[in-house]
Chains A and B, each alone.
Chain A
């Protein structure tokens, strides 16, 4: 666990009618928050929280050789939640006035039906949060004129890299977010959450055939994220991942050994175990992992974590969206299931401490247990040894998406680039193939784990119950002894 200074200080130095923290600029005061929380608990709710959010996003797009489109978004709003046992009442509004807040609180309060509960007289701001995404310059200070040359340069370099490239699309997104969470224990937590993402997509043409692919990088970081090395990699990878497709074949259909390359192959963990370990599904008994805590589910060299603390990662958070500490959570230790990923509701249900996995897309949504950065720790095998061990199989490198049925345990991930493995060697490139397995079975079949862990730098987004949150994933090179490869022919 990451250590945190939990020393508290009064919410305001200047009295309760002054604005509070970042949201003072919108007229939010400690008194308003206290009144909202009191109203929220007026009908017997056990816990209430208020979630303020201000998120400003800016996108620049390049198409057909010019940066000729910009998108700007502002999200400002507040959500009020009341919890009683496993039950949740939720209301939200874009209007940060006291009457609107109280209306939300009354809506949320209706989940309970009992006597009013008191809230503490004074609220306290949590101090000493970790600083996992320090910025040299906030995005608000970066003028479009500074970003434009970056896109123009990448466009030129992508075209120059290979004469088969006919179209280049680029998107650069940056985001400045602020959240404030206040709850009925009297705690106030504030966080500033930057995010940036760069996407380069190319279309190549040769001998009447076309292929398209791309590369993207993302992180909770500032403009300095785009180092020369990173930009080199963006161009190199986008072009290589596309042009190799001209030589790629479709693998055969059926069961075979699957070797997952270090990095974005962490999608295996996200789908095969991560979702199934989200505690809401287990609280409801609908996950294939329900009742499996403390049981051996993988080889003793398999260690899986979900980590909020990878500095600068897209899935990093200083605090979760319920105001709880967020550190490194060990899902699997020495092959044994250790803990689910909890939000406050499930933690109370199971009688454990929250793990800092209570996350939400925005103020329009109540929090749910969600992943952050999910990866497997290095294991005892060597990458060459793993590839050499496979007579006929597939080596998966890059992915576009995945999905899981939580209860049945079936999951998939879609491979954009990979290779056939024939007699212990990578031979022909493969493309566009879906791989399907069953979560616990696939983990059981992870029989080799290399020492080359890499956390992917890509812009992954996880969807659940209609809510999207940014996540990261990683993996060392891993062999799964058998999965179904959705190819064609034999």
Chain B
């Protein structure tokens, strides 16, 4: 038994001692190291081992959730006592109970490989050498004389957490992740200083691309922004780069949360079984991908993780249902938060998709904007490239796209073969027809 699990068990027991009927205790410990490098030298090194404890308290039908980084025994004792007293002042809530214990059972018997056994081999010298190598590669690309500044970063985390629930759940997990990235700023002859970035990472060091590749890509992307102009307002086909498409997908998935449905703040209420997207939209939530950034054997409530379909050929199949809002809605829980998304991919690369679409815009990044989860209306700042004759043309920026998700996803015309590997959403390039762009 690890000491973290032991601490967590004691916290759950303490909650019961202080008067909680039930409790869910979660604790974590993580070591995080980050090196930032800029223009020939180390800019910043940060290193820490951090910890914390959280408790969900169920007190005579009432509920309070607390978290603390002050784990001194006396302080913790008083903190839990106060929290139980706080819960007692609230209105009772019949839906607030721990999950049904049968949902804990049936965890997949797979090794998710979330911890790199070679974590210990990374040291300060190596991080620094990589950070330096990223910059050197960035400054070696054609057109590098326009570069004003290169900031690179190398970071890694090792974390462990434990979850104990007084109706019979205990779990522990450990994981590592490793990231490298670069941000490059260039001088545009018009005086602007456009910036771009590239990043790569994963659970294992071996998931990362070489530092040189990241440095080059960030520099090439920044240089490609030189000469950016605002395009004209028009309705055009939009290709969303796989790096950017996660933002749009997140706006579709947010309103799938049971809390949004129950609180009537979702344009997707009552839409299970309804065709919302084009037949190309098939997405599964898959928590069991080996080395996946969102992979898990159990979720934050201890519920055994299982893959489930979210969209099948454009038809909505499932919400994200947690225990509490599931009880309020009378729906069985699925899981409270998405894990990894698995897409039905198309057979064509982004370059081929651009050839197919002929005239339009490739959006490579969003800037601000928002989506109204209640109505599905969205309006988002964008930058990217005009596509003409099936090829990338001039860079465009200071533009905006707007629409409604209930219309947008029906116009999904193509899905790329290129899931973005550095996000749990694993979004591919997505092509939408007839999108309203605002510009000049």
Pick the interface stretch among A82-90, A116-124, A189-197, A229-237.
A82-90
A68-96 vs B: 1/0 string, CB under 8 Å? 11111111110000000011111111100
Distance in angstroms between the alpha carbons of A77 and B237 in the assembled complex? 51
Q: Which residues does chain A contribute within 8 Å of B66, judged by CB atoms?
A: 71-74
Q: Which residue in chain B gives the minimum CB-CB distance to A68? A: B93
Q: Which residue in chain A gives the minimum CB-CB distance to B222? A: A407
A interface residues (Cβ-Cβ under 8 A, vs B): 54, 58, 60, 63-64, 66-77, 86-94, 104, 107, 110-111, 143-145, 148, 166-167, 169, 203, 205, 209-212, 250, 253-255, 271, 284-288, 290, 364, 366, 400-414, 431-438, 484-490
Q: Which residues does chain A contribute within 8 Å of B192, judged by CB atoms?
A: 288, 407-409, 438
Q: Which chain B residues numbered 181 to 196 have a C-beta less than 8 Å away from chain A?
A: 185, 191-195
Q: Are A414 and B379 in contact (CB under 8 A)?
A: yes
Q: Are B193 and A411 in contact (CB under 8 A)?
A: no
Q: Which residue in chain A gives the minimum CB-CB distance to B259? A: A63
Interface check B79, CB cutoff 8 A? yes
* Contacting residue for A407 out of B52, B185, B400, B439, CB 8 A: B185
Q: Which residues does chain B contribute within 8 Å of A145, judged by CB atoms?
A: 89
A203-B264 CB under 8 A given contacts A66-B93, A413-B368, A434-B370: yes
Pick the interface stretch among B80-88, B309-317, B412-420.
B80-88
Distance in angstroms between the alpha carbons of A320 and B148 in the assembled complex? 30
Distance in angstroms between the alpha carbons of A364 and B69 in the assembled complex? 12
| 24 cross-chain CB contacts under 8 A | A66-B90, A68-B91, A72-B66, A72-B79, A74-B70, A74-B75, A77-B50, A87-B43, A92-B50, A210-B264, A254-B438, A285-B193, A287-B193, A400-B370, A403-B367, A404-B367, A405-B383, A408-B228, A412-B381, A432-B375, A434-B368, A486-B379, A486-B380, A487-B379
Q: Which residues does chain B contribute within 8 Å of A486, judged by CB atoms?
A: 369, 379-381, 400-402, 438
Q: Are A434 and B402 in contact (CB under 8 A)?
A: yes
Distance in angstroms between the alpha carbons of A490 and B235 in the assembled complex? 11
Other CB < 8 Å A-B pairs besides A89-B45, A169-B263, 6 of them?
A69-B64, A72-B66, A92-B50, A404-B367, A407-B193, A432-B379
- Give, as a whole number of angstroms, the nearest-CB distance from B228 to chain A: 7
Distance in angstroms between the alpha carbons of A415 and B92 in the assembled complex? 38
A285-B185 CB under 8 A given contacts A70-B90, A73-B68: yes
Q: Which residues does chain B contribute within 8 Å of A271, judged by CB atoms?
A: 368
Distance in angstroms between the alpha carbons of A104 and B149 in the assembled complex? 30
Distance in angstroms between the alpha carbons of A411 and B366 in the assembled complex? 11
Interface check B127, CB cutoff 8 A? no
Q: Are A408 and B194 in contact (CB under 8 A)?
A: yes
- Give, as a whole number of angstroms, the nearest-CB distance from B119 to chain A: 18
Interface check B298, CB cutoff 8 A? no
Distance in angstroms between the alpha carbons of A86 and B40 in the assembled complex? 12
Q: Which residues does chain B contribute within 8 Å of A287, judged by CB atoms?
A: 193
Q: Are B264 and A167 in contact (CB under 8 A)?
A: yes
Q: Are B233 and A254 in contact (CB under 8 A)?
A: yes
Interface check B221, CB cutoff 8 A? no
B294-307 vs A: 1/0 string, CB under 8 Å? 00000000000000
Q: Are B377 and A432 in contact (CB under 8 A)?
A: yes
Distance in angstroms between the alpha carbons of A236 and B283 in the assembled complex? 42
Q: Which of A64, A68, A401, A486 has the most CB of B within 10 A?
A: A486
B49-84 vs A: 1/0 string, CB under 8 Å? 111100000000011111111110001000100110
Q: Are B90 and A68 in contact (CB under 8 A)?
A: yes
- Give, as a whole number of angstroms, the nearest-CB distance from B92 to chain A: 7
Interface check B121, CB cutoff 8 A? no
Q: Which chain B residues numbered 300 to 346 have a C-beta less than 8 Å away from chain A?
A: 328
- Give, as a whole number of angstroms, the nearest-CB distance from A439 to chain B: 10
- Give, as a whole number of angstroms, the nearest-CB distance from B149 to chain A: 5
Interface check B388, CB cutoff 8 A? no
Q: Are B375 and A111 in contact (CB under 8 A)?
A: no
Distance in angstroms between the alpha carbons of A413 and B400 in the assembled complex? 11
Q: Which residues does chain B contribute within 8 Å of A91, judged by CB atoms?
A: 46-48
Q: Are A210 and B375 in contact (CB under 8 A)?
A: yes
Distance in angstroms between the alpha carbons of A70 and B370 in the assembled complex? 29
Distance in angstroms between the alpha carbons of A402 and B366 in the assembled complex? 12
5 closest A-B pairs by CB: A486-B400, A412-B368, A403-B368, A407-B193, A253-B438
Q: Which residues does chain B contribute within 8 Å of A489, judged by CB atoms?
A: 436
B378-395 vs A: 1/0 string, CB under 8 Å? 111101000000000000
Q: Which residue in chain A gives the minimum CB-CB distance to B54? A: A73
Interface check B277, CB cutoff 8 A? no
B216-256 vs A: 1/0 string, CB under 8 Å? 00000000010010100100000000000000000000000
A76-B439 CB under 8 A given contacts A68-B92, A250-B377: no
Q: Are B398 and A436 in contact (CB under 8 A)?
A: yes
Q: Are A405 and B194 in contact (CB under 8 A)?
A: yes
Q: Are B263 and A167 in contact (CB under 8 A)?
A: yes
Interface check B403, CB cutoff 8 A? yes
* Contacting residue for B265 out of A87, A212, A485, CB 8 A: A212
Q: Are A408 and B89 in contact (CB under 8 A)?
A: no
Interface check B357, CB cutoff 8 A? no
Q: Are A414 and B369 in contact (CB under 8 A)?
A: yes
* Contacting residue for B42 out of A67, A111, A409, A411, CB 8 A: A111
- Give, as a whole number of angstroms, the nearest-CB distance from B324 to chain A: 10
Distance in angstroms between the alpha carbons of A285 and B185 in the assembled complex? 9
Q: Are B64 and A72 in contact (CB under 8 A)?
A: yes
Q: Are B41 and A87 in contact (CB under 8 A)?
A: yes
Q: Are A166 and B264 in contact (CB under 8 A)?
A: yes
Distance in angstroms between the alpha carbons of A366 and B230 in the assembled complex? 37
Q: Which residues does chain A contribute within 8 Å of B193, judged by CB atoms?
A: 285-288, 290, 406-409
Q: Are B383 and A410 in contact (CB under 8 A)?
A: yes
B139-156 vs A: 1/0 string, CB under 8 Å? 000000000110100000
Q: Are B44 and A89 in contact (CB under 8 A)?
A: yes
Distance in angstroms between the alpha carbons of A436 and B328 in the assembled complex? 40
Interface check B96, CB cutoff 8 A? yes
Q: Which residues does chain A contribute within 8 Å of B191, judged by CB atoms?
A: 288
- Give, as a whole number of angstroms, the nearest-CB distance from B153 to chain A: 11
A211-B374 CB under 8 A given contacts A75-B69, A366-B46: yes
A407-B194 CB under 8 A given contacts A66-B91, A210-B375, A485-B438: yes
* Contacting residue for A484 out of B87, B89, B230, CB 8 A: B230
B195-223 vs A: 1/0 string, CB under 8 Å? 10000000000000000000000000000
Q: Are B398 and A254 in contact (CB under 8 A)?
A: no
Interface check B122, CB cutoff 8 A? no
Q: Which chain B residues numbered 415 to 440 have a C-beta less than 8 Å away from chain A?
A: 436-440
A487-B438 CB under 8 A given contacts A250-B377, A285-B185, A413-B368: yes
* Contacting residue for B69 out of A76, A167, A209, A404, CB 8 A: A76
Q: Which residues does chain A contribute within 8 Å of B375, judged by CB atoms?
A: 209-211, 432
- Give, as a whole number of angstroms, the nearest-CB distance from A68 to chain B: 4
Distance in angstroms between the alpha carbons of A14 and B79 in the assembled complex? 31
A203-B46 CB under 8 A given contacts A67-B90, A437-B398: no
* Contacting residue for B49 out of A63, A93, A203, A211, CB 8 A: A93
Q: Are B264 and A70 in contact (CB under 8 A)?
A: no
- Give, as a whole number of angstroms, the nearest-CB distance from A59 to chain B: 9
Q: Which residue in chain A gives the minimum CB-CB distance to B397? A: A410
Distance in angstroms between the alpha carbons of A29 and B310 in the assembled complex? 56
Distance in angstroms between the alpha carbons of A145 and B88 in the assembled complex? 10
Q: Which residues does chain B contribute within 8 Å of A73, judged by CB atoms?
A: 66-68
- Give, as a whole number of angstroms, the nearest-CB distance from A51 to chain B: 13
Q: Which residues does chain A contribute within 8 Å of B369, judged by CB atoms?
A: 412, 414, 434, 486
Distance in angstroms between the alpha carbons of A438 and B148 in the assembled complex? 20
- Give, as a whole number of angstroms, the nearest-CB distance from B308 to chain A: 27
- Give, as a whole number of angstroms, the nearest-CB distance from A111 to chain B: 6
Q: Which residues does chain B contribute within 8 Å of A68, judged by CB atoms?
A: 62-63, 90-93, 96
Distance in angstroms between the alpha carbons of A211 and B376 in the assembled complex? 11
Q: Which residue in chain A gives the minimum CB-CB distance to B44? A: A88
Q: Are B374 and A212 in contact (CB under 8 A)?
A: yes
Distance in angstroms between the alpha carbons of A436 and B400 in the assembled complex? 7
Q: Which residues does chain A contribute within 8 Å of B372, judged by CB atoms?
A: 212, 431-432
Q: Are A286 and B46 in contact (CB under 8 A)?
A: no
